[in-house]
Structures are given as structure tokens and as C-alpha cells.
Structure 1
């Protein structure tokens, strides 16, 4: 989730995001980016989704260079975004990885993600897992578009760590549609991205230490918590979780995020966008209705699912929807969303609980009391879940900042914190 009401028209937060492909090329050239060139596929085979071959999860299928910036270029890119750059120590090299993973149903597929390496620094690198926020168009994914999804990856890599930033399923160059807010598949895609990154980094002669620092923003904040749980439980013996620093995650959809849609804590535009995306995606995974007219008023019932096909930009989706959820949903489904039951409640609860475990590593939860996309109640709920298990996780409240401003402000603070943790072993 990374689209607050003000951010839709904010040049600072989404100026690059509004650019289409041609304009993006201009930006890349201005920042000194090398053109992307496809690397040959490894001998392990072709895309499982195309050939039917079942590659092992996390198998690296292709490495494509997509960007290179010197230190001054990284500083300029992050300064334009409004981020502090005092932690920028290196230039960066960025690569799109294509790798084998699984669908929500457990079938083989492929996904893409962004691997960013520092251009300089130590030979062996710690790894940051950076999981991105909500995006509707597949080309906004970190491995494709050089905009909002690359701020944190470049920031962390410029500080001297490798960064694995998965596109998730159905975004970037991956096939199919994005199963938005499906925690299980977001974790499997993120974990397999770590595996592919380990292979790619070794081939690029920048081997990984195995230490993982997990962060993420909005949707990705929730994914970071769930991924941390999987890593701590031994999901892959090559990786050791070192710290968790999610930003503005919707950790409690049932008790924090959904109620905030109806009491003014979430602005109408963002609430409408997120919930429509959530409902249409979840209906494909956990059928919520037999016919969309049960949930959506006309004329929206016939168009909402198609708007979130990965080929529409947010700037196209928002004008095609009404002003708020009450105008979008039928009276019956509006009441159902206020007091979820049955399939809807099951879909919501399947995504909650990402903080219901006991991390054995330091945790900080970054948020803002001024956030009207993912209210601070989510972070407080997460902290309470952790506290009930004996874990103290400070809630770092950035004050009266918007959703995206929270991300831009928190990123450099997280880098400094990871630096301190690494220095103390």
C-alpha cells in the first residue's frame, strides 16, 4: 500500500511513477544508467510456466542488468525523492532476476525481482530483503520501473549491502495476475527471490554472508513480518534473520485497517483503491461472491475486476471508480465489510497474524500518526501481538507525515539502525 490521497498528485512522491516507458528511458539516461541487456539463461532450462518443466523453487533462470549509478547518481536520485542521503557510500548495480517459484495453489511458475549490489565495499555482502508496497500496474515493480520501488533498494545497496526486492507474483515480468495481499504467496515469492539472489550474487562475484535484514513498506511491511517468521523457523538453511524493520504495514486488517475505512482514519480515495484491489484479488483465491453484482453496484460490477489486471495504471483506475466505498458497494456488501463474516472474514484472517510470533532478533515498527492509508493502529496492534509473546518492539512514530512521507523518512533511519546492528555483530 503506497498511495495516499495526497500522493496521487504529488510530484515528489510520484513524479517518476507517472512517467510511461519512454519517459522512464529519459530519466535512466539522465542518471547515467546503462541499457538493460538480457543475460543468457543458465543450463537449468526455460520458464517452468512456459515449458512445463518443474525447476526447483528459487532456481535462477535469468539475470538482466537494468541500471548502474555512481555514488553521485544515487545521491541525485534519492535527493529528488526527498530522502536523506548521508548513508550513501557507494554506487549501485541493479539486475532483474527471473526465477522459479510457485502460485498460490502450489503450482510451478516464474517471478521476477530486483537484485541491487553496491559498486564497491566489502566482497561478501549481508542481504536486505526489501518488499514493496501496493502497485497496480506490473511495470511499477522494482525490477522494471525506476521509481518509488527502487528508493529503498538503492538506499540500502549504497550503504554497502546487497538488496533483494521481489516484484511478487504477477508483477514485473512474471506471468498471470497479482494475488494482492495474499500473504502466503508473497512470502513464497520473497523467499525464492532470496534463493535466486544468493545464486546471482555468487555468479557476479559478490557472495552473500547469509545474514538477512528484512524491511518493507505498506503491503511489503506486512510481508516483511511474515517472511521474518518463515526465516526464523528455518525456511532456508542458508539464511539467518538479523533484524526486522517494516514500515507502515497493514498487520491487522480485521481490527485496525478495515474499521478505519469507516471512521475517517483512512481517506476515501486510498480506502476505495485498496479495498477494491483486495476484494477482486481475494475473490479469485477465496470466492467471495457468485456474481460481482452481489458486491458492486452497477455500472462498476462489470468493470472492477478488469481494472486490476496488471495493465492499468493507478491514474486510469481511480477515475473509473466512484468517490468512495459506499458508492461502489451494494448496501448489503457495505454492511458485510463493516462486520465481516463467512468467506470475507476468512480471507481477511488469512492475511492477519503476521505479528503473532516471537522474533529472536531486534524489531522496530516504523509508522506515522498522520498516515491516512495505513493508520498507526496497525503498528500498535503488531507491537501488542509481539509484547504478548515477550518481545519489545518499539513503535517509531514519525508524527504528522503522510503514508509515502513515512517511507521516505524511515528509510535512512533504518539504514543507520542496520549499520549499528552490523557493527555490533
Structure 2
């Protein structure tokens, strides 16, 4: 789901995309290998960090340190398990050496490859990573596959690849941290917004399952996610009953079909599902958010063919298979670490039924997860975006109260 769709202003110079490995299959030891690290910018003092957060629309109240921000490029795997590369943002508090508590933040939706944390500054995307670092945490923020400097096209809402990209960035950051006289605590405090809320749950599940020998789940705080994408989100965007903003329903309906087709072979050609087949080209990673918005029709009825609408309403084949994986993030497991779900009533992009259904699924597994209603808070006239701003301030305070390891 969405962050602010960015126009590309303030883009850092990424250089050429890192090459994809030619090996037929990666060995486990290759994943998370650090390929490069670049200092992007420095916020010298707590005052500078607070000013950066204020400029991005975030609460500066937890800023106690300056921040160093790095872009890390690392080895990971694509949606088929083949070797590839990805990038991400790594932020650390200045003046603090030794062992640092570790936060992983997964960002929301973007359409251009620069709509990623390591490619922007002083924007909505980077506020959480700066917030946590300025509060004293080491923070990783993955760009995901096909965004940042990574090759290929982005497999949006593909939780398995979001999980591997997130986990492998943690591994790369662990390798890099000693170069800055720091080490990373093994208990990872995992959070994420919108699209990244599902990614956060995927990472939390992987850490709890022992998919890394060093890192483990310390806490989990997803924000305004589409956890029940097939069962709640898609029906809400098709309903047209006023709960969700129509223009965002068009964006997500189109992105769903295009992105899931990249991984799961949903249709033979875009003309089967879109009245204008050129819609698919808007999600190639090279169109900006404003370009996409201006080119899309205004309603799902204008976007979709009868077959396309029926496919979203009654998923089958590759789309059904993809949605089963995406919708599994709250099912058939329960976090052993402290967990909270954050949401805002009146969210115009992610129906609040997603959060209710996630909490109910955890309840069925035997865990009562608190749901935090963030109230009526807007950012850029959006309740959805406002939920991330408010939640970031609340989550950093909550994370700061948790004891590292042992009893929490």
C-alpha cells in the first residue's frame, strides 16, 4: 500500500544499477553479502536531526542524536530464488559506538525506482529511519527488489521477496556496522507501513522461525497494512461505497494485476484486464507518481474490462496463488515477541478491516494482539499517510521502553 507518491525531487545520485550475479543459484552464504556502502548524508547534531524530521512532516520529539545515513548494496534473491542485488538505507546515531539496538522499517508503495529510502532525503520515505536513528537505534530500511539500485521491475506486495530483501539487508548491515565501530543487537524491532506492514510481518515470521542464525525477533509493530489483501482490501476498492478514495482504488487495482502478473502469470496480455493496455506500462519503474496518476482513469469501472473486474472479485489461477501468499502474514503463526498493530479510522487507502482481520487471525492462533487506533491525523490531506507519521512517534517511544533480550 501507499506512501506519498513522489515526483523524484531530491533524488540522490545512485550511479549505475548493481549487476545481477550470473551464478545459476545462490549459496546461502552469498545472501546478505555487502557489495558497497556509501555515506549519503550526515545530520551533525540532534538539532539537525530534529530539523530534518520537521521538514519531512515527522515528530522530532525523540531526536537525541545526529545521524549518519548510508546506502548499502547487497546480494539477495529474486522471486524465483535466483541471485540478484538490492539496496537499502542504513542509519546510525552519531556519537554512539558499540552495540546498538536494531530496527527494521519497511516502507510503503512507490512506483518509480527512486521511491525508495536510499534514494531520497527530507521526504516522507526517510522520516522513520531518521526518527529511529536519532533516538539511538541502528535502522535498516530496504528499498525492495526492483527499486533503488536493484535491477528488474518491482514485484509489489510479494511478501516472500520483501522478506528475503529485508532479511538480507540486515545481514549486510551486520557486516558493515563494525566499519563504523558498531555492532548490531540480535533482537530486531520490526516495523513497517502500508505495503511495508505486510513486509514487516513476513520478516518477523522469518526471524521467529530461525531463518537467520544471528538475528531474532524482538518486537513487531506494523502500521496500516493490507494484511487481508484478497479478502478485505480488494473487495473494498471494488465496492465504490465511499470508504476508499476512488483514485487510490484505481492505482491499487492496476498495480495488483500488473505486479502479480510479473510473478504469477495472471494474464496473457494487458488488454484482457485493462480497457487501455498501456496502463501496464505505467508501472515499469520509470514513471513518476504524478505521471501515473495523470494517465490513469478516475474509477475502477473506467480502468477494468469486465474480465479484469471479475478476476479481482473472484481471483483464480496465478492471482489466487499470489494472494494466498500475501494474505498469509497473520495466519497460522503467532509472534512470541511483543506485538502491536497500528491503524487509523477513516483510512482512505487501506480499509481498517485489514487490521481487524489480522488481529482476529492472531486471536485464533492463541495470541491477543493490541490494536492501537491512532485517531484522526492527516498528512498531506491523507489519513493513511498521517497514520505513519503518528505511529512512528508512538512506536519509537514503545521500542524505547522494551528491554533488550530477556523479559520484555
Common fold: TM-score over 0.5:
yes
Q: 134, 150, 168: which is aligned to 1:158?
A: 134
Structure 2 equivalent of residue 60 of structure 1: 34
Q: 245, 253, 259: which is aligned to 2:229?
A: 253
CA distance in 2, matches of 1:82, 1:409: 10
Alignment gaps of 5+ in structure 1: 9-16, 26-35, 39-45
Structure 2 equivalent of residue 49 of structure 1: 20
Structure 2 equivalent of residue 186 of structure 1: 162
Structure 1 equivalent of residue 2 of structure 2: 2
Distance 1:106 1:37, change over 3 A: closer
Aligned with 2:171: secondary structure?
helix
Contact 1:368–1:375 (CA<8 Å) still a contact in 2? no
Aligned with 1:172: secondary structure?
coil
Aligned with 1:138: secondary structure?
coil
1:276 and 2:254 matched:
yes
Distance 1:81 1:322, change over 3 A: same
Distance 1:19 1:345, change over 3 A: closer
Q: Once structures 1 and 2 are overlaid, which stretch shifts more, 201-210 or 156-165? A: 201-210
Contact 2:14–2:119 (CA<8 Å) still a contact in 1? no
Structure 2 equivalent of residue 81 of structure 1: 56
Contact 2:226–2:350 (CA<8 Å) still a contact in 1? yes
CA distance in 2, matches of 1:52, 1:349: 30
Contact 2:225–2:354 (CA<8 Å) still a contact in 1? yes
Structure 1 equivalent of residue 400 of structure 2: 419
Greater than 6 Å deviation, 4+ residue runs: none
Structure 2 equivalent of residue 29 of structure 1: none
Alignment gaps of 5+ in structure 2: 378-382
Q: 321, 333, 337: which is aligned to 1:346?
A: 321
Over the aligned positions, Cα root-mean-square deviation in angstroms equals 2.0
Distance 1:316 1:202, change over 3 A: same
For these two proteins, the number of residue pairs brought into alignment is: 392
Contact 1:242–1:361 (CA<8 Å) still a contact in 2? yes
Structure 2 equivalent of residue 360 of structure 1: 336
1:102 and 2:77 matched:
yes
Q: CA-to-partner distance for each residue in 1:59-98, whole Å, 9 max, x for gaps? A: 0010011011021121112112332222111010010001
CA distance in 1, matches of 2:200, 2:236: 22
CA distance in 2, matches of 1:136, 1:47: 20
Q: CA-to-partner distance for each residue in 1:357-414, whole Å, 9 max, x for gaps? A: 1110111000011101011111111111111111111111112340000000110100
CA distance in 1, matches of 2:255, 2:157: 9
Structure 1 equivalent of residue 380 of structure 2: none
Aligned with 1:372: secondary structure?
coil
Structure 2 equivalent of residue 42 of structure 1: none
CA distance in 1, matches of 2:83, 2:14: 26
CA distance in 2, matches of 1:18, 1:306: 17
CA distance in 2, matches of 1:349, 1:220: 17
Deviation at 1:260, TM superposition (A): 0.9
